[in-house]
Chains A and B, each alone.
Chain A
Amino acid sequence: DAGVIQSPRHEVTEMGQEVTLRCKPISGHNSLFWYRQTMMRGLELLIYFNNNVPIDDSGMPEDRFSAKMPNASFSTLKIQPSEPRDSAVYFCASSSTSSGSNEQFFGPGTRLTVL
């Protein structure tokens, strides 16, 4: 298996622009998680889906952030408009409820820089 795939790996944009991050979970996994990593706050959950349904989005910073999972093999995280404080590494992770271990597999991350 190719593992969790994220794109782009790096994104540099200017304040006010729309940013879309993409994630392809491991085939057969039915849970998907978006995390953000910053120096100040460490790793934080933004949102997660079970069977394509958003379960908890309380970690989404504000209305500028939105996430979708239109099918089992694709999810997007959108920031509109972006701000410099959104600069961080965004990780997508997936897991399978059938595994019984709650082990999450992480993608390589998208490093976002907002100028």
Chain B
Amino acid sequence: QKEVEQDPGPLSVPEGAIVSLNCTYSNSAFQYFMWYRQYSRKGPELLMYTYSSGNKEDGRFTAQVDKSSKYISLFIRDSQPSDSATYLCAMSNNNDMRFGAGTRLTVKP
């Protein structure tokens, strides 16, 4: 079993849809949870950063962490074609950081 599991997709949705992206993990030592967005052949860009269980909202993006279930989610509201990218979850403690495989999202106009 991988430490971080993320469905690679691809995921295709119409413009305006609500997108839900998810990751599960096995290492309960992880304390910090991140979502990165990566456009094709570009460097990953930090999108959301959370420390504790609960929700964090930033514009159209909401990150959700459930440490008891070892499950994190990223919700994108009113999705736009410009959201088309690969989304990578990441989690870390002070000594280790792990990335998910990434979910490729396409938002169709």
Tell whether A pairs with B: no
